[in-house]
Structure 1
Amino acid sequence: MKTAILIPARYASSRYPGKPLASLRQADGTAKTLIQMTWEAAQRVPGTHAIHVCTDDERIRAAAEDFGASVLMTSSEARNGTERCAEALDQIDADLVVNLQGDAPLTPPWFIEALIERMAQDPGAQVATPVLRCDRQTYEMFTEDRRNGRVGGTTAVFDRDLRGLYFSKEVIPYIDPGKLPDPIPVFHHVGVYAYRPAALRNYITWPEGVLEQREGLEQLRFLENGAPVACVEVDARGRVFWELNNPADVARIEAVLGAA
């Protein structure tokens, strides 16, 4: 199964313009851009046959090519990473497409390996995405963002067969603050996707749905059109996982990198 990792990256983010080119300090005191760190995370995934940055922005293209990345140019019409991956289909040869979004440099390789394995085991699965049970620290980061009016990470709820029921920027399910159970029944949705090419081609024929527009979450378009999304539970193995959603997240990620 030929697997291509695509890293969609746009400059014109509404919450964080220029985010892919944001610089993060490393443990050794040097700095790397977010897009370079994400590219390096993709390089650590075994068994893939191609890795490409997908963008419509010449600044991102130049920066990516400067550190040795392959770049596929896509249109400025792509409204999210899934649409950008769909646009890139005609430029690649792949049986499976992994969307590693350019704001998740802390994504461990085994998260992506688990997705690839899930898709290999079930030829009928069209879309898969990882979910990670929140530990207390991650849950507190979610609730801190909401208290401060920040749009942060995404949570997921799913059925007994791990089919996605809903994804939200709110913290779901609701938990009484005075009765926080252990383990915490909140799952962090990791913004990585594995798609069959047919699923991507279907996706771009569907209009944006109401829920997708309200939440700003691209994966809801699949659910709104009756296309199941397989959730794959992953284990952080003691590492902290967080995406760069807002400028405030730079310090959080640098702390994980040991640079703070």
Structure 2
Amino acid sequence: MPDLIVIPARYGSTRLPGKPLVEIAGKTLLSRVVAVAREGARRAGNAEIVVATDDARILDHAHALGCDAVLTASAITSGSGRAWAAARDRAPEIVVNLQGDAPFVDPAMIAALIGALRDSSSAVATPVVQLDWDTLDAMRAHKQTSPFSGTTCVRDSEGRALWFSKIILPAMRNEAQLREASALSPVFRHIGLYAYRFAALREFEATPPTPYEQLEGLEQLRFLESGVEIRTVTVAPPRHAMSGIDTPADVALAERLIAQFGEPEHAWR
């Protein structure tokens, strides 16, 4: 059974209705994410792609793109829930949850996460970026006005996640000396892309939200609070550095990044 890359693509969005069908520099958001998934599947090998949506218009668009797609219940509120709904009848060994509003994910990250699970006994894999000091300073400044934007990860020497938080972790004594010693800070920023073993995703969906998950608003803490290992994979900082597309302002920013850095596909070759 091939591994499965699921693209959750919900029509309803209070800030950007019909988001997967919105055009960014002449291409729909969904078409851009499908292109990411296809390249990730090609690099990983033995992987299939499916769009999981709640709307027939998105289903039709996915089919027009030549991509497999399934209708899932509109009551599902999370990407992991929609990924599970799409994967449960197929029972692949590994399920990748590639959010449908993330057009700038590097396909190499998808292949790296699949590879990390194929080569280990870990239940979940997710990417992190080690921040240089300038990027850390920018993150600190941004959190002054948007404290719940951006997630950090603390991990052990073998890459196992110890914790995720909206607070910048770890706290640092003697930061001045650390800055002199290395161009990279000890802070890792989490990128919201996940690969799960099928059984781990099934158990996750059967487990109610946990206390720290609810406090931080981070669903991956449900795994850690349940004693499930998450393997982190260090990746290079993305060239088009932005989070998901949620508002018209995000669309405009994405178009500016494409104008500045070129189409993402150009960097994949």
Opposite residue 9 of structure 1, the aligned amino acid is A
Q: Normalized per residue, which structure has more helix?
A: 2
Q: State the alpha-carbon separation in 2 of the partners of residues 101 and 216 from structure 1.
A: 17
- Residue 34 of structure 1: which of 5, 29, 41 is its match? 29
TM-score (norm 1): 0.83
Partner of 1:184: 185
Partner of 2:130: 133
Q: 1:14 to 1:162 in 2, by over 3 A?
A: farther
Partner of 2:75: 77
Partner of 1:28: none
Q: What is the Cα deviation at residue 199 of structure 1?
A: 0.6
Q: State the alpha-carbon separation in 2 of the partners of residues 136 and 129 from structure 1.
A: 22
Partner of 2:7: 7
Partner of 2:88: 90
**Kept in 2: contact 1:111–1:130 (CA 8 A):** yes
- How many residues are treated as equivalent by the alignment? 252
SS in 2 for 1:226: coil
Opposite residue 75 of structure 2, the aligned amino acid is E
Q: What is the Cα deviation at residue 239 of structure 1?
A: 2.5
**Kept in 2: contact 1:86–1:201 (CA 8 A):** yes
Q: 1:97 to 1:64 in 2, by over 3 A?
A: same
Q: 1:169 to 1:38 in 2, by over 3 A?
A: farther
Partner of 2:55: 57
RMSD of aligned residue pairs (Cα, Å): 2.7
Q: State the alpha-carbon separation in 2 of the partners of residues 145 and 202 from structure 1.
A: 35
Which of 8-17 and 202-211 deviates more?
8-17
Question: Structure 2: which 5+ runs fail to align?
Answer: 262-269
Q: What is the Cα deviation at residue 150 of structure 1?
A: 6.7
Q: 1:60 to 1:233 in 2, by over 3 A?
A: same
Q: State the alpha-carbon separation in 2 of the partners of residues 246 and 136 from structure 1.
A: 28
Post-superposition CA distance 1:129-155 (Å, at most 9, x none): 111112456445533542333743322
Q: State the alpha-carbon separation in 2 of the partners of residues 18 and 184 from structure 1.
A: 39
Q: Does 1:250 align with 2:251?
A: yes
The 5 A counterparts of 1:159-238 are 159-174=156-171, 179=176, 181=179, 182-236=183-237
Q: 1:138 to 1:60 in 2, by over 3 A?
A: farther
Post-superposition CA distance 1:39-73 (Å, at most 9, x none): 11111122143101112233432333333321122
**Kept in 1: contact 2:70–2:86 (CA 8 A):** yes
- Residue 154 of structure 2: which of 143, 152, 157 is its match? 157
Partner of 1:111: 109
Q: 1:211 to 1:16 in 2, by over 3 A?
A: farther
**Kept in 1: contact 2:113–2:127 (CA 8 A):** yes
SS in 1 for 2:8: strand
Opposite residue 112 of structure 2, the aligned amino acid is A
Q: What is the Cα deviation at residue 116 of structure 1?
A: 1.5
**Kept in 1: contact 2:3–2:92 (CA 8 A):** yes
Q: State the alpha-carbon separation in 2 of the partners of residues 19 and 7 from structure 1.
A: 13
Q: State the alpha-carbon separation in 1 of the partners of residues 136 and 245 from structure 2.
A: 16
Q: What is the Cα deviation at residue 226 of structure 1?
A: 1.1
Post-superposition CA distance 1:97-136 (Å, at most 9, x none): 11111122111121111111111111x2111111111245
